Amino acid sequence: HDHLHCWVCATLLQMVKGSHCFCSSCAAGRLVFENYLRTEYNDENLLFWLACEDYKTNYCETETNVDAQRIYREFVRVDAPRQINIDFVTRKEIRENISHPGPNCFDRAQRLIYSLMENDCYPRFLKSELYKALLEQAERK
């Protein structure tokens, strides 16, 4: 597997999900991205995205209520400790969704947050010193 190809071509999705590519560099890349977001005080977006992904994949009728509530309390409601940046219509829609939580009850919010990361955080990350250091490291391998 070509490490360099992996760094340069990694899309945000490949990085955060670690899908398509299972090389150790991508896992490292995701951690670095997470660290970078933390330095920007912006990691709630990625954490929300990952929590929704986890929720969807491990969806199980009996426990979803609790899980959906946890995501709502941590990321969505107005005084949430890790409040994500969504409009009030979306927030309201989620509140309605989680009163009867299905596997897709965060789908649109997740897509919104994804494009926010893709268009905002990710390009900044690619210009950061942290990413440059990562590239240099990969090139030396």
Exactly one of 63, 107, 118, 139 binds ligand NAG (CB under 6 A); which one?
Answer: 107
Exactly one of 49, 55, 75, 106 binds ligand NAG (CB under 6 A); which one?
Answer: 106
Total residue count of the chain as it appears in this document: 141
d(CA 13, CA 118): 9
- 68 counts as binding ligand NAG under rule CB under 6 A: no
- 102 counts as binding ligand NAG under rule CB under 6 A: yes
Exactly one of 32, 37, 109, 113 binds ligand NAG (CB under 6 A); which one?
Answer: 109
Please identify, among the stretches 24-32, 76-84, 104-112, 126-134, the one whose residues bind ligand NAG according to the rule CB under 6 A.
104-112
Among residues 2, 39, 40, 36, which one has the least CA distance to residue 16? 36
Nearer to ligand NAG by C-beta: 38 or 100? 100
- 52 counts as binding ligand NAG under rule CB under 6 A: no
Encoded tokens for 97: 């969704």
CA distances from 108 to 1, 8, 113, 133 (A): 34, 29, 9, 34
Exactly one of 46, 76, 94, 121 binds ligand NAG (CB under 6 A); which one?
Answer: 94
Q: Counting runs of H as helices and runs of E as strands, what totals does the chain give? A: 9, 0
The number of residues that bind ligand NAG (CB under 6 A) is: 11
Among residues 66, 37, 65, which one has the least CA distance to residue 49? 37
Q: Which residues bind ligand NAG (CB under 6 A)?
A: 90, 93-94, 97, 102, 104-109
